Amino acid sequence: MHKNLLCAATSSAALISNALGSASYKTLLQGMSALSLQQTRGLRDDLKARGIEWREPKKYKKYHPEISGDLEAFKAADISGPTHKMTYAHAEFEQSSPEVQRLLSLEFAHNNELIKMSKLDILRETQRHQYDSGSLAAKITNLTVSIRYHQTEKGYEKLLRYSERRVHLEHLVDRRKKYLVRLRRIDYKRFEWLLEKLNLLYKPRVLKGGPIYRYDSLRKLVSMRCEKLRKAKLAAYKAKLDAQKESFEAEKKSTLEWIKETEEKLGIPVTVDPETGMIEAPLPPRVTIAKRIFGPYLVNKE
């Protein structure tokens, strides 16, 4: 509406620009633009006062937890524990001195060792047996740990610094999504169990819609507001009628009793019952048009 007004004003200003001059035309156009902007701001303030406010939706990257579906942060392994290679010599690690254990622990190891041990800790809860590392559930678990490590504050700083890390993380998210789709198709019960175990939210693929415009969104918000008010008024009216139900039933019963007594006094068939309501009375015999016209002329065979 405001755009149409602005276009009409612009066309009118263009028609009179020859008579007023270029300076007057520019002044008029600036004034109409300021008026349209003021009307738009007034409309927004009015809608905001009525509880209708539109905010531009946030745009998240594919690796953001809001899009990837990770409902849980990265769980790091115990830094006082041994590295992945030292797990094969766990007995010797336990027998060594505290200084040696600290040097061989995850405290002084690379971040890759921390990720490996974190994967191993979670994999023990989702794998079918102790040697399971190639099933779909195991692959999804390993990818989930890697994705959540990059989503941490330390990993996110590296993502902002290096573009190839962002691309790599997007590939990890896509690969996990592909494995989830395959597991969902093959074994749905295990798929649900794995989502609950890893605290994941599966989001099926949706087609991208068109651009989001402010005025279209405001129209939808206004229609939703009107629908909400309509339902609230209907609920209040229903509650009001429910409160009057007892008095209405009492009045109905007294009226039916009066009708029944009147019909009995007049000696006509009773058609109402104060307890059940109306009684199905027998219908009168159907008289056809031919019988109405030629009835008096028909001879009774009896």
Show the CA angle centred on residue 259, arms to residues 258 and 264, nearest 5°: 100
In terms of average pLDDT, the best of 65-79, 198-212, 223-237 is 223-237
Based on the number of CB atoms within 10 Å of its own CB, is 289 exposed (0-12), middle (13-18) or buried (19 or more)? exposed
Coil vs helix vs strand at 151: coil
Do the domain assignments include residue 74? yes
Computed from CA positions of residues 293, 294, 297, 298, in that sequence, does the dihedral angle turn out positive or negative? negative
Which of 21-52 are b and which e, b meaning 16 or more Cβ less than 10 Å from the residue's Cβ?
Answer: eeeebeebbeebeeeeeeeeeeeeeebeeeee
Same-domain status, 39 and 81: no
Same-domain status, 156 and 78: yes
The two three-digit tokens of residue 83, written as one number: 């590295």
Q: Where are the beta strands (DSSP E) in the chain?
A: 272-273, 277-278
Do the domain assignments include residue 191? yes
pLDDT in tens, 104-151: 777 777 777 888 888 888 888 888 888 888 899 999 999 999 888 888
Q: How many domains does the chain have?
A: 3
> 23 pLDDT band (50/70/90 cuts)?
very low
Same-domain status, 243 and 142: no
Which pLDDT score, from 0 to 100, does residue 180 have? 93
Do the domain assignments include residue 214? no
Q: Give the structural domain span for 248.
A: 231-302
Same-domain status, 19 and 137: no
pTM: 0.56
Phi then psi dihedrals of residue 157, to 5 deg: -65, -40
Same-domain status, 45 and 69: no
What are the distances in angstroms from CA 191 to CA 138, 196, 210, 230?
A: 12, 9, 32, 42
pLDDT in tens, 207-222: 666 777 777 888 888 8
